[in-house]
Amino acid sequence: MPQRQQNVNAAQWSSNGALGASDLTEPNASQFGDNVFSVTVQRQRLPKHTFNALQAALAEGSALDPVLADTVAQAMREWAMEKGATHYCHWFQPLTNLTAEKHDGFFEPNGNGGALAEFSGKELIQGEPDASSFPSGGLRATFEARGYTAWDPTSPAVVMDNPNGALLVIPTAFVSWTGDALDHKIPLLRSMDALSTAAVKALELLGEGEAERVFTTIGPEQEYFLIDEQYYFERPDLYTSGRTLFGAEPPKGQELDEHYFGSIPERVLAYMMEVENELMKLGIPIKTRHNEVAPAQYEIAPIFENSNISSDHQQLTMQVLQNVARRYGMVCLLHEKPFKGLNGSGKHNNWSMGTDTGKNLLSPGDTPDTNAQFLFFCAAVIKAVKKHQGLLRASIANVGQDHRLGANEAPPAIISIFLGKELENAFEMVATGKGTALKKGVLNLGTDVLPTLPRDGGDRNRTSPFAFTGNRFEFRAVGSSMSLGFVNTVLNTITAESLNELSTDLAKELKSNKGDVFKAVAAIVKSVWEADSEIVFDGDGYSDAWQKEAKKRGLLNLPTTPDALPWIVEKQTVDSFKKWKVLSKRELESRYEVFVEQYSSKLNIEAETTATMARTMILPAAMRHAEIIDDAGESAGLSKLAEEITGITDGLIEAIFALEKANDHDGPDGGVKHATYMRDTVIPAMSAVRGYADRLERIVANDLWPIPKYSEMLFIK
């Protein structure tokens, strides 16, 4: 099919009217939570004593007895089957950043030629997938297969619709036969317990004795790209690696700043609405949708939820984003950098702490300089981030991130905290006794038609990787494709450690200050500010000056994944995670091994794909173009064209051979040494091949070029 006709076909779309319109003011018109085995559903379907026993067990964190589990399983099965479910699965999150599931049917033969629908408490509570086939980093030998999935009753089961039926999805943890965590959920739950213990202890010292539990909450902002599926399946680099390994930058990219918050294209908006409809049924509270900076880039964001539930919901969100896109003839790309020269995609991790009494512990109030509780908890975060900056950087490291971080589109690889002028001034006042509180002003827009707007005490800083934004910290450096599990496990654990240490100091200060809470907290704030304020930075994180300044401050600059990952097994990391019983040394080492291996394996896939595409697609196109020039005869102009195509083609051939040699080597055996080799040798060799190929894209006849170009993928919607 001629290329122009392909572009026309890709641009054509008409609504299928699948969703229709409904009057959301009518009772029960909203579908929110329709497919969730929620507390409301449990109350309706479980006997009263069973419901109360289940809620009590969840509140106390105790195990369910077999009789109770059987009753819950029966009610869950009946509810799911009424919604069309014929199968159930234990849905878990192995160390792949993806999810895993094995489907089992409800129906079993009854011995009389028929079948009965069965689902026992034992089947609800425990499953047994093959643990040897998932990444374990040495926790499991290949021949050791036994692993278990364990129902997490704190995260509600849901029914996932499919065109041909439905599936009961039961969130579970994944553990080896030896009891080691093989997933992201178990450490996250452990870290939430650790932080709650430390935070409740601190609150008691601060005179807030009502709280029995402290929760961490997450509100992740998910960025993604959408391209027409026709272009996706014509590009082996996209469907094997998730990013374009070739592609000359188009004449028009994002230079005009016209896509950000622009009018959403009709097909994309229809897609977004169906995504939100599907997520609504799953009880995922989506709040925001908009165009992002790069063409064909968009964002979806939910309301804050408990960290464990939000992490589960985020995995479901990524799955729904990708599934629904195909219904609209598109593909959703979650890679951190699918297009060279354009902004990549992140996942802003908005993180906070709150009590079971409804209080946000990171809310500064109108006078943060006198808010002892806020100052104490904020100081604990500052202390934690300063001490564990290397680990935080490691928690968001992967091969896609190395293309994005510090590239004037995402925060730099240097971890720092942005507090804003108002909070920074408040800490300075408390720590030094100097300065005056900044007053929040107003913006007068110069016309009576428009309202006077309140102005915050400080501007925001988009270059900060860890920024305070009102009543939470926004970890802006998380990658688009990443699970939230490990990132928030790290945040919770290091904050628990810091809170515990500062609580010990606070107890001493309370004695010396005769119980005066504010004076005691002021002493803590002063100590933290003097020791750790180097981590606070409110300037341009992209500037060369900050690189030098950060070095003077003693801050770490870990630009690539091989630089960062060793911090997962640093002694201070091992000691902290062992003390709080979040991850053992063995479990940390396993994650380190898995992440390092994934880095090298993904680069190997990219390198082989680059070489293959260059040999079998791009080089033949260049040779055909050279034949056209040769067949056209001789002239000064044609000679120049022939010389040009020959020179670039010869360079491409040499670069292909060099890449194949670099990737097929007897270099360092495994581990971070091999990852470093891939970074220092294979990536430059890939870049060399791409350099020649992208030059060829600009001169080879358009009808000969074998893969869709950026200008097509990004702008035909």
Question: In whole numbers, what is the pLDDT of the chain averaged over residues?
Answer: 90
Q: Is the pLDDT of residue 20 over 60?
A: no
Report yes or no: 630 and 710 within 8 Å, Cβ to Cβ: no
Give pLDDT, residue 548. Answer: 94
Q: Is the pLDDT of residue 492 over 70?
A: yes
Neighbours of 564 (CB within 10 A): 26
b/e 52-84 (16+ beta carbons within 10 angstroms → b):
ebbeebeeeeeebeeebbbbbbbbbbebbbebe
- Return the pLDDT at 436: 67
Confidence tier at 631 by pLDDT (50, 70, 90): confident
How would residue 602 be classed by pLDDT, with cut points 50, 70 and 90?
very high
Q: What is the mean pLDDT of residues 264-290?
A: 94
Write down the pLDDT at residue 144: 65
pLDDT, residue 140, reads 67
Whole-number Å distance between alpha carbons of 380 and 498: 5
Phi-psi group of 237: left, alpha or beta (phi > 0 → left; psi -120 to 50 → alpha; rest → beta): alpha
In which band, very low, low, confident or very high, does the pLDDT at 365 lie, cut at 50, 70 and 90?
confident
Domain spanning 191-439+457-583, CATH architecture:
2-Layer Sandwich (3.30)
Task: Compute the distance between CA of residue 649 and CA of residue 629 in angstroms, rounded to an integer.
Answer: 14
Written as one letter, the residue type at 29 is: A
The CATH fold assigned to 3-17+31-183 is: Ubiquitin-like (UB roll) (3.10.20)
Backbone angles phi, psi at 218, to 5 degrees: -130, 140
By the 8 A CB rule, do 458 and 422 touch? yes
Query: Mean of the pLDDT values across residues 501-521?
Result: 94
Q: Where are the domains of the chain?
A: 3-17+31-183, 191-439+457-583, 598-715
- Return d(Cα 500, Cα 304) in angstroms, integer: 25
pLDDT of residue 220: 95
576 compared with 631, residue with greater pLDDT: 576
pLDDT at 487 (0 to 100): 97
Please state the rounded mean pLDDT for residues 122-140: 81
d(CA 405, CA 597): 21
Query: Is residue 373 a contact partner of residue 574, using CB atoms and an 8 Å limit?
Result: no
Q: For residue range 77-105, list pLDDT tens digits in order.
A: 999 999 999 999 999 999 998 999 989 99
Cβ atoms of residues 124 and 69 within 8 Å:
yes
Give pLDDT, residue 679: 95
Partnered with residue 300 across adjacent β-strands are 222, 289
The closest alpha carbon to 594, from 506, 434, 483, belongs to 483
Residue holding tokens 């992740």?
220
Task: Name the class of domain 598-715.
Answer: mainly alpha
Band (pLDDT 50/70/90 cuts) for residue 303 is very high
Task: List pLDDT tens digits, range 217-233.
Answer: 999 999 999 999 999 99
**What confidence score (pLDDT) does residue 431 get?**
86
Give the span between the Cα atoms of 665 and 682, in whole angstroms. 10
Residue 62's pLDDT is what? 72
Dihedral pair phi/psi, residue 20, rounded to 5°: 70, -170
How does pLDDT run across 523-573, given as a tens digit for each residue? 999 999 999 999 999 999 988 899 999 999 999 999 999 999 999 999 999
Phi and psi (nearest 5°) for 374?
A: -60, -45
pTM: 0.93
**pLDDT of 10 higher than 70:** no
Indicate if the pLDDT at residue 649 is higher than 90: yes
Q: Give the mean pLDDT of 459-471.
A: 86
Of the pLDDT bands very low, low, confident and very high (cuts 50, 70, 90), residue 136 is: confident
* Band (669; pLDDT cuts 50, 70, 90): confident
* Radius of gyration, CA atoms only, the chain: 28
Q: Give the pLDDT mean for 265-293.
A: 94
Residue 24: predicted pLDDT: 59
Report the pLDDT value the prediction gives residue 369, as an integer from 0 to 100: 82
| Alpha-carbon torsion (54, 60, 65, 70), positive or negative | positive
φ, ψ for residue 51, nearest 5 deg: -60, -45
Q: pLDDT tens across 177-213, in order?
A: 888 999 999 999 999 999 999 999 999 999 988 999 9
State yes or no: pLDDT of 17 exceeds 90.
Answer: no
